[in-house]
Structure formats: C-alpha cells, structure tokens
Amino acid sequence: MNHPYEQLADLMDGSLDERELAGVQAHLASCASCRQDIDLATRGARAARSLPVENPPPDLHRRVVGAGGGRGTPAWYRWAGAAAAAAAVIAIAIALPNVGGERERATDAAGGSEVSLPLAGDVEYSREEQDYDADALQDLAQSATASRGQMATDAAAAELAGDSTAAVRCVTRAFDNQQTGRLTRLIRARFEGQEAYIAVYLEGPGAGEPPDTVAVWAASSKDCTVLSYASARI
C-alpha cells in the first residue's frame, strides 16, 4: 500500500481542502499504519519543537572572526573583505592539499630522514634574507604575475629539500581552510620581523580556465598562523 505522507503532513498542518481531506480520511480509515504514524508524528513534532535553543560556544565568534580579547582582527580576516571586493578568491582545483598531504605522507613513510624534494615539480622553494611587509607582499604578487622569479639553484635545492618539507606542512596547516589555488612558489624569509613562509598561489575560476589571480600569503614559520595576504590580477 502506498502511504500519502505528503498529504499526511498537510493534514497535520490543517492545510488540506475539503476534497483532499476526504481522500486522506478515506485512506486513514483503511490504513492502521498511517493512523499510527499520525500519532507518532504528532508527538515527534511536539518533541522537536520543545528542544531548547542552545547558546553557541562563546568562542564561536572569535573562532570565525578571530577578534577575541580585544586584540583586533587577524590579518587573514582583514583582507577577506577586500579580497571579496576584488572577487579574487575563487575556488579552483585543490592543489595544496595534494602537495601537503601526499608528499608529507611519503616523507613520513620513509622515516622522515630520507631527503627527497617534497614539492611538485612546478613549485619552487627558496630562502631569502628579505624582511617582507604588506607592501613587499603586494609587490611580490605584482611581480609574480609577470615572472615566477628565479628557481633555486641545483646546489641549493638539495640543502633546501628538508626545509621545504616543513614549509609545505606549515602552509598546509595555515591555509588549509582559506586557500584553494595552486601553490607555485614557497619562500622562507621574514615578515615584519618574524620568521615566515611566503607562499605564492595561482588562482582561477576553475572549469579548466587559466589562473587569473596571484595570491601571496605569509605565515609564521613558528606556529604556522597566517600573518598577511596580498593578491594581484594576472
């Protein structure tokens, strides 16, 4: 037997017209299962509506906005509005988790001692003495739209290999929730005096379209928190 659940919901709401009501009543007269369900559903609805509204955790706002304790909004949040204005933050294929996740596992599986370049072939890693600030980060985003910069030399690459593993792990942790572009360049440098990783991503609209934005992030290399962000249209 087919049960008219949709009409039974209307019956509970009192929204059936006379003809529909007569049809449902005729069904109920011959269907014990639906009569029982009406009884159960009435009690179930009453129970569901009796559930109290619980207070969200007091730190939810801080967890989202990061503005707790009067310390002001963190850098990643401050730029979010501007990024929206530029319509630059658009999700595309997830390259970062692949870089961070799979490579990290590969290294761990090798016991962590074997040095193998953990970055994809098209990601360059380097160290710089430069102390970046917001303007420098923006300059990097601008310059990256024209040139991807110098690749590390072969000699430097071996030395940097182990370092880059930590870098990828760190930026993966720092940007996992925010960044969805393709990582192309990682720089170990300083940002406003702090040891930092500078990560350059290419972002695009997806669906096979080419990247249209360079996004540059700075994260503390100590605790992998996001320090700043800049972007530029390609």
Question: Which residues contribute to the site for another protein (CB under 8 A)?
Answer: 5-6, 8-10, 12, 30-33, 35-37, 39-45, 47-51, 53-57, 60-61, 63-65, 67, 73, 77-78, 80-85, 87-91, 177-178, 180
Note the residue count of the chain. Answer: 234
Asked if residues 42 and 50 have their Cβ atoms less than 8 Å apart, the reply is no
How many C-alpha atoms does 142 have within 13 Å on its Cβ side? Answer: 6
Residue 80 or residue 134: which is nearer to another protein going by CB?
80
- Nearest distance from residue 225's CB to another protein, in Å? 15
- Nearest distance from residue 94's CB to another protein, in Å? 12
- Nearest distance from residue 144's CB to another protein, in Å? 21
- Residue 16 φ then ψ, to 5°: -85, 140
Report the side by side order of strands in the sheet with 182-191: 124-132, 182-191, 194-203, 213-220, 226-233
Residue 107 or residue 180: which is nearer to another protein going by CB?
180
Question: For 150, left (φ over 0), alpha (ψ -120 to 50), or beta?
Answer: beta
- Nearest distance from residue 118's CB to another protein, in Å? 23
Residue 5 or residue 93: which is nearer to another protein going by CB?
5
- Nearest distance from residue 153's CB to another protein, in Å? 37
Residue 149 or residue 205: which is nearer to another protein going by CB?
205
For Cα atoms 92, 94, 95, give the angle at the middle one, nearest 5 degrees.
115
Three-state DSSP class for residue 147: coil
Residue 10 or residue 152: which is nearer to another protein going by CB?
10
Q: Other C-beta atoms within 10 Å of 29: how many? A: 10
